[in-house]
Amino acid sequence: MSQRGLHSSLGLGGRGANINLSPRGTRTTVGVPGTGLSYVKDRRAGQVKRPEPAQEVLPPPPPTPEENDASGWGWAAGAVFLFAVVVIIAFLAR
């Protein structure tokens, strides 16, 4: 007899996996025999998972002109730089 009184439980399973049912809840154990590796999941009696309230998902704001660099000269500057690198490599390879 424990401090809280008598407890009864029912264990099902065998080597490597078992389920223990009691008035306090359910315990599921899965393990690899001989290794000491195991996974235990406890579920208390009367425990109910409540869904979290849905949060409003807003679309991202439209890009600013600075962020939308495709309409600016950024791509042209990159192309000129790449062209200059190719010309220099071709000149040095002679």
Domain ranges of the chain: 11-44
Strand 17-22 relative to strand 37-44, pairing: unpaired
**Mean pLDDT (whole number) for 24-38:** 84
Mean pLDDT of all residues in 54-76 = 71
Please state the pTM of the whole predicted model: 0.40
Could you tell me if 16 and 29 are in contact, meaning their C-beta atoms sit under 8 angstroms apart? no
Q: Which comes out higher in pLDDT, residue 71 or 40?
A: 40
Neighbours of 17 (CB within 10 A): 14
DSSP class of residue 13 equals E
Could you tell me what percentage of the chain is helix, strand and coil, using 3-state DSSP and rounding each to the nearest 5? 25, 30, 45
Specify the higher pLDDT residue, 7 or 91.
91
For 33, 67, 68, 70, 93, the CA distances from 61, given in Å and listed in that order, are 55, 12, 12, 17, 49
DSSP sequence for 82-93: HHHHHHHHHHHT
% of the chain beyond a pLDDT of 90: 0
Given a cut of 80, whether residue 74 has pLDDT beyond it is: no
